[in-house]
A and B are shown apart, each in its own frame.
Chain A
Amino acid sequence: MTDLHSPETQTLRFRRRVLFAGALVLLAFTVLLSRFVWLQVVMHDYYRTRAEDNRIALLPVTPHRGLIIDRNGEVLARNYSAYTLEIQPSRVAGLEHTIDELSQLITIEGRDRKRFRKLMEESRNFDSLPIRTRLTDEEVARFIAQRYRFPGVEVRARLFRQYPDTELASHVLGYMGRINRRDAEHIEESGYADNYRGTDHIGKSGLEQFYEQELHGVTGFEQVEVTAAGRAVRVLARTPPQQGNNLRLTLDVGLQRVVEEAFGDRRGALVAIEPSTGGVLALVSKPTYDPNLFVDGIDSTNWDALNTSIDRPLLNRAISSAYPPGSTFKPFMALGALTAGKRTAGQTIADPGFFDFGGHRFRDDKKGGHGSVDMHKSIVVSCDTYYYRLASDWGIDGIANFMSQLGFGARSGIDINGESAGILPSPEWKKKRFKRPDQQKWYAGETVSVGIGQGYNSYTLLQLAQATATVANNGVMFRPHLVKYVVNSRTGAERMVEPEPIRTVDLKPEHLEIIRSAMVEVNKSGTGARAFAGAPYEAAGKTGTAQLFSLKGAEYKSAHVNERLRDHALFIAYAPSDKPTIALAVLVENGGFGAQAAAPIARQVFDYYLLGNKPAGPAPEDGDATDVE
């Protein structure tokens, strides 16, 4: 035994084994080599012939993309088939010359050339790219007769996406675009490469992007016999493609249309939610754009116009922009104060028209103040002083804790991408946000302006609508979603996107009732009274104004301020107030006071959704609306 373990024998044995392994390697490689010789020498002639007439090509058959349908069955996105003239640039010698020649047969305009050039920059080298889409039958016939002159150029029937309502709901639907290199890499990494052979468009934003995997479908395959030049002559076998799934939305397109028309030419956003499910009834961002422009590759002129416009039509203002909530924050502040036991409804303050804190005077909108103010009145007349003091008494940590439960400052998880988290100010947030120690410190004075929805406060309209819906739904909060169910287009089977309760905020019914009755009063005798005059239903609401431009001490005269620096008008509301079926938040950029620009839009929304009344035109601006918020 000892002999066996001596270092010498061990080394010797190891070397023997190394030799054995080496011999095995050589043996295995010899087997491989003989296989190579078999394939490349003995069978060479056979395989050469097979390669020469390797006529069996496996061609992908692109599936039809699923449809997008609103809650009442109106189709928002569909497909159509059209002939396109395609060039494979890698197979064409003189590209410009070829296009010139082609243009003698088929109309090719300057913008077609521009678009083609842009496509070339973005695409893979071997791609076949459209120079013209929607050829007429006559154009197809003319080209086919001359085809022999144009190697690398072909006419193909392709499916295109179409949005029949053009600009309507474009931020919800999103748009399709050609698969670029980044998309291609992503597809490969995700393991979908096989299913995307033959697909050259992909959802780039909105629902088209978020539900890409549902909508795309399963690619089929055709085994075809091809000629030496690669043209298919006969189909040998076929695995049919499976059409993509349809999306049935919670969105009510009729309502969406009412809202978009109510905005007219004004910029802004509106989110309306069904409080009992979290289903989004309308999600509007104005201005919109026409997603059809992107379908066969957007040309540079249109692209530049969309990108450089000062109105930023591609920006989804409802979920990607965060705004200060202004006075619409006050009902939530009041509710929190009741819940946290910081105030009772009956407690009153004497409002002199300002609140002094740390040597700084925080002013109320109304000179001289509102007199004696309790909680109900503080919401109805939108008393700033009440909330300055409340915020200061309550403290920033308590405020941040309560507001985060209502969803402020966190992404809601809605089923489209690009959501902003907004800013829920707190000492922790400030520490993370700023680098320099002196900037990181939270000052008690900053808490005061948080109380009236100004300061660092910044939320998306979606968050504001979600919080309103949560209050309307007695504290049960749902994840907002746009898709109600996914429909298997082959079997018709419906897969529900279940309403997902995120949490139940612990709110007392008597506290909710205090807030509700105050918000109802806003629309009866307060800032929303003019907009809601004569409404046959009872709506709870609160106006707000988000300051963009602070005039220290000076009086605000909207006429004197540049239009783009004017305040944003805000309004939150739900109705009917006793059994809410709709809750919304609306903002009109640079609209001035909430009562003036935003509340009339909410009125039209409720009139349509609850009564079925279609408004005649854009919502009126109430020029005489009270400027007290």
Chain B
Amino acid sequence: MQLTSNRWARLRELTGRVLSMLDVPLLLIAGVLLALATLVMASATADFDYRFDAHLVNLVVAFAVMLLVAQIPPLRLMQLALPFYVLGVALLIGVELFGEVSKGAQRWLNIGFTRIQPSEMLKISVPLMLAWYFHRHESQLRVRDFLVAGVILAIPVVLIFHQPDLGTAVLVLAAGMFVIFFAGLSWKLIIPVLAAGLIAAGTLAIKGDALCADGVAWPGLKDYQRQRVCTLLDPTLDPRGSGFHIIQSSIAIGSGGVLGKGWKEGTQTHLEFVPERHTDFIFAVMAEEFGLLGCTVLLVLYSALIGRGLMIAAGAPLLFSRLLAGAISLSYFTYAFVNMGMVTGVLPVVGVPLPFVSYGGTALVTLCTGLGLLMSIQAHRRRRRER
């Protein structure tokens, strides 16, 4: 009896310690997001119940991963940065050489018992690596360090872009750029790049017709990628392919109105007008069924999530933790902005899921790993102060 109660006490202490690493605001925000997602998922998967069951399993797995990651102190994370990065890049090269082709892209690596998609792992290990690199050179950051960081970032991005997986390449690139930005890249460099981007977008918007004429090749982009940008400018160019997607998702969203048609009442999405409705286009389902109200709630939730993440970054004691937390928070922004922008026809169609909402176990685990990292950074800051 003595022994059992002793064990019991130890178990309670352990559970307490594990749970103390969790950040309550983050957990609440993510919880509400995931609850909303589950609601939308139940509607979007109405004719594929096994997907819904799989979604529930994904939730449990992702939560466990988050709990686990939150236990790793930032100092330990720094030790893992380089090995993870090297492993990730090695796997990407493996994909390039021996990968399996699926949906016209070479993304998967068969490692005997299962297939893995190494590019997913880089979404975390690239910011980890860059944050660690800047942290090591904290005392004297020079221009050279930013150049090295650029190379560290470019290698995986080019490899992923070449698969081709534009969506993931954008996400990894953005995550790395955020670290470099927070590390203090000079405004003199940032402003011209931003300006160039704006000018490019502007040119496209004005001179799009000429650039999208048949046979015009864009340097560095595959034909289907060029087509996506062009379709965005004029969806009627390709009413059967991705233009059809944009037209149909716009109809679904627009017909939702302010209050929406009600849960499981979305006619456009359920009549199969909207493609990929449980993955990349799930936002259209939500917007049709919950209207502007639902969309606004979603935006507020994302803002709160990103805001909390940035607060954690601002309060972190180590440069490493700050950079990592800042980059992860802004990654959530990239996901959300690119996905919603794509579905509402503001951005070209790239394969980026709606964070915490789209169906897909791998993406959910990556997102929750990010949450775990933020929680670890926050918890260990608090701990240091207590001592």
Contacts and interface: CB of A to CB of B under 8 A. Distances in A.
Nearest to B303: A29
Contacts of B340: 32
A134 interface: no
| Chain B interface, >50% SS class | helix
Interface stretch (A19-27, A367-375, A396-404, A525-533): A19-27
Contacts of A29: 299, 302-303, 337
Interface string A572-600: 00000000000000000000000000000
Nearest to B248: A54
A32 B310 contact: no
Contact of A14 (B253, B314, B344): B314
Given A32-B337, A33-B299, A41-B292, A126 B330 contact: no
A18 to B, nearest CB: 5
Interface stretch (A45-53, A150-158, A280-288, A510-518): A45-53
Nearest to A181: B50
Interface in A1-44: 5, 10, 13-15, 17-18, 21-22, 25-26, 28-29, 31-33, 35-37, 39-41, 43-44
Contact of B296 (A33, A185, A237): A33
B9 interface: no
Contacts of B319: 10
A491 interface: no
Contacts, number: 134
Contacts of A52: 255
Given A22-B307, A48-B257, A36 B344 contact: yes
Contact of A40 (B48, B140, B184, B254): B254
B254 A43 contact: yes
A47 to B, nearest CB: 3
A474 B273 CA distance: 62
Contacts of B225: none
B267 A28 contact: no
Interface in B263-280: 267-268, 271, 273
B102 A17 contact: no
A41 B287 CA distance: 12
A36 B287 contact: yes
B258 A21 contact: no
Given A51-B268, A125-B48, A44 B257 contact: yes
A181 B141 CA distance: 56
A221 interface: yes
A51 B303 contact: no
A46 B307 CA distance: 36
Interface residues of B, number: 56
A28 B174 CA distance: 15
B8 interface: no
B386 interface: no
Interface residues of A, number: 47
A51 B330 CA distance: 35
Contacts of B296: 33, 36
A181 B48 CA distance: 9
A6 to B, nearest CB: 11
Interface string B337-362: 10011001110000000000000000
B172 to A, nearest CB: 18
Contacts of A125: 46-49
Nearest to B266: A51
A258 B267 CA distance: 59
A347 interface: no
Contacts of B307: 22
B383 to A, nearest CB: 20
A21 B330 contact: yes
Contact of B251 (A28, A37, A50, A185): A50
A58 interface: yes
B182 A18 contact: yes
A372 to B, nearest CB: 55
Given A18-B313, A50-B254, 18 more contacts: A10-B319, A14-B322, A25-B303, A26-B303, A28-B333, A32-B341, A32-B346, A35-B344, A39-B250, A40-B258, A40-B292, A47-B250, A50-B251, A51-B255, A51-B268, A57-B273, A58-B244, A125-B46
8 contacts: A13-B184, A17-B181, A17-B326, A18-B182, A32-B299, A36-B292, A54-B251, A191-B102
